[in-house]
Amino acid sequence: MEIQGKIVSNTKLNIYTQSLIVKPEQVKKIDFEAGQFMLLKLGENLQRAYSITNPPHQNDRLEFVIDTRPGGPGSQFALAARKGDRVSLSGPFGKFRLRATDLPKVFIANGCGIPPLISMIEHLLHTGKTMPIKLYWGMRYQNELYFAERFRALKQTHSNFSYTFCITRPAKEEPFCATGRVTNVICLGIEENRKAEFYLCGKLAMIREMKTILTQHGIPSENVIHEGY
């Protein structure tokens, strides 16, 4: 599906991450599943894939989180985009989606792998799912984190949701933060999550390591769903 939209906000989340919200102009609603992505047209025969951050019930908009560190066309677009700019998109695409089970859910991300997991978590909670839902998100520094208030609000209103920020180089101790790589922090609590489904998103090296760890701890491969970049 081809979509023409208008940027309604472009927010700086941290020193190298932008959040763009696009409203479609020709349709009132966009049908997508949590975890899917859109292709953003950046020029003739040039497009980039970005995961949808907002959940499916917020179907009057598309929210994207863009890492500007690579410095390529997508990064340049995110830094230059202004409210009111028009964009062309196509989609949604992707098979990284929630499975229709009542198993506990564990979501694991590092870096900019968080957007599709936010969509999934918010969708589960919005639709009244009561299984335990846990998020582990790995970053190097605390000041790289974003959406902390978003997660805090979800935890306050949903007793089955919990989250842990895994910081490899912490400046100080903070609530909901653990010291170490996300793969190491997961190992400490893996026994209590043995019957869960695991959703992984992030750098390929993390996903490979995490899959190995889960296999070693007896987690069935069919309960590990992943997408890397």
Per-residue pLDDT of the chain (229 residues; tens, 9 = 90+): 899 999 999 999 999 999 999 999 988 899 999 999 999 999 888 999 999 999 999 999 999 999 998 889 999 999 999 999 999 999 999 999 999 999 999 999 999 999 999 999 999 999 999 999 999 999 888 888 899 999 999 999 999 999 999 988 877 666 667 878 888 888 777 888 889 999 999 999 999 999 999 999 999 999 999 998 8
Check residue 65 and give its pLDDT.
98
Q: For residue 46, what is the enclosing H or E element?
A: strand 46-51
Spatial contact of 37 and 91, defined as CB atoms under 8 Å apart: yes
Best CA proximity match to 112, nearest among 206, 1, 212: 206
> Reduced to 3 states, what is the DSSP secondary structure of residue 158?
coil
Best CA proximity match to 120, nearest among 149, 100, 93: 100
- At position 172, the amino acid (one-letter code) is K
Spatial contact of 104 and 193, defined as CB atoms under 8 Å apart: yes
pTM: 0.94
Which domains, and CATH codes, for the chain?
Answer: 2-93 (2.40.30.10), 105-228 (3.40.50.80)
Residues with Cβ within 8 Å of residue 39, at least 6 apart in sequence: 47, 48, 49, 89, 90, 91, 93
